[in-house]
Amino acid sequence: MARITYDVPDGVETVETDAGKISDSGKVRGVRVQREDGSYLHLPYERLYAVETTEQEGKVDYSGP
């Protein structure tokens, strides 16, 4: 699981999701997070405080295409 902490108008919000559901956003300079209902949350880097993952989830395998 990954924990994402970001700025909202009322303060700070934290969501937990599978680390595989986090990717670069094509809409904003930032990240996108796929929600449970299939929609996406686009977070600009300026609003992002932290993306925390386990060591294993944070690794990327570059051996494949």
What is the DSSP secondary-structure string of 9-62? TTEEEEEEE-GGGEEE-SSSSEEEEE-TTS-EEEEEGGGEEEEE--TTTT----
Pairwise pLDDT comparison (16 vs 26), residue with the higher score: 16
State mean pLDDT over 29-48: 90
Q: pTM for the complete prediction? A: 0.73
Residue 49, pLDDT score = 92
pLDDT of residue 40 exceeding 80: yes
Q: How confident is the model at residue 19 (pLDDT cuts 50, 70, 90)?
A: confident
State mean pLDDT over 27-40: 89
6, 22 contact by CB (below 8 A) = no
